[in-house]
Amino acid sequence: MNIAVETSTEGIVIFRLTGKLNMVYAPTLRQEITEQISTGHNKIVIDMSGVDFMDSSGLGALINGLKGARQAGGDLRLAAPVEQVKLVLKLTNLDRVIKTYSSAEKAFSES
């Protein structure tokens, strides 16, 4: 899996992921999100459009980031998940907890 990080002029951090978000790569993502939050960024977007598969370990990394961002007064949101990711979110009821948007650019545009 590849992780590219960019910060918008509004201070929103966008993680653009490519590949499979599973038990092998979840710890790396968790650590990178934690680093961003610890340096003062509390608005995090995970662009999932390039993730063709996510397991419960990947979901755990997202929840860890969500909790960290919310504790810092911000939020973690998802952009453009594929069907498999939507299925995992739905069956675990996390679709009620993590907000999902059609694109990374829209994730914080209406908050």
Report the interface residues with other proteins, using CB under 8 A: 20, 22-24, 53, 55-57, 59-61, 63-64, 66-67, 83-84, 87-88, 91-94, 96-97
Least separation in angstroms between residue 22's CB and other proteins is 5
Question: What would you report as the CA-atom Rg of the chain, rounded to the nearest whole angstrom?
Answer: 12
Q: Between 1 and 3, whose beta carbon lies closer to other proteins?
A: 1
Q: Which two tokens stand for residue 58?
A: 């990947």
Q: Between 55 and 105, whose beta carbon lies closer to other proteins?
A: 55
Q: Between 18 and 56, whose beta carbon lies closer to other proteins?
A: 56
- DSSP H stretches of helix in the chain: 26-38, 56-71, 83-91
Report whether 55 contacts 88 (CB < 8 A): yes
Q: Between 92 and 109, whose beta carbon lies closer to other proteins?
A: 92
> Quick check: helix, strand or coil at residue 105?
helix
Give the alpha-carbon dihedral of 46, 49, 20, 72, to 10 degrees: 10
Least separation in angstroms between residue 7's CB and other proteins is 25
Least separation in angstroms between residue 106's CB and other proteins is 24
